[in-house]
């Protein structure tokens, strides 16, 4: 059983989006006696086939006199997003 945080990380979505998915019936939580949600692994994996991964768009800009810094900025941005959900 997975906690909502784990589900969000696996799917690359926010908690608000997870709540919407529950509300729309895309995934059904198991509600504990305390009222907290848990999710079955198989339900999450089924939903993973439906949810599209987000595209990451990088934007770097420099003035005309700093063109050399553009390469460094792009490298920094690429390293920052590596390994994040949605990264292909």
- Which residues are known to be catalytic? 63
User: What is the C-alpha separation between 18 and 33, in angstroms, rounded?
Assistant: 20
User: What is the C-alpha separation between 56 and 45, in angstroms, rounded?
Assistant: 22
User: What is the C-alpha separation between 47 and 26, in angstroms, rounded?
Assistant: 7
Q: Classify the C-alpha dihedral 81-52-9-5 as positive or negative.
A: positive
């Amino acid at each position: 059983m997975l906690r909502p945080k784990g589900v969000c990380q696996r799917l690359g979505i926010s908690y608000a989006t997870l709540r919407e998915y529950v509300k729309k019936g895309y995934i059904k939580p198991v509600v504990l006696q305390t009222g907290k949600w848990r999710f079955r692994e198989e339900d999450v994996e089924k939903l993973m086939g439906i949810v599209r991964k987000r595209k990451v768009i990088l934007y770097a800009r420099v003035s005309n006199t700093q063109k050399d810094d553009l390469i460094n900025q792009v490298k920094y941005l690429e390293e920052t997003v590596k390994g994040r959900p949605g990264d292909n």
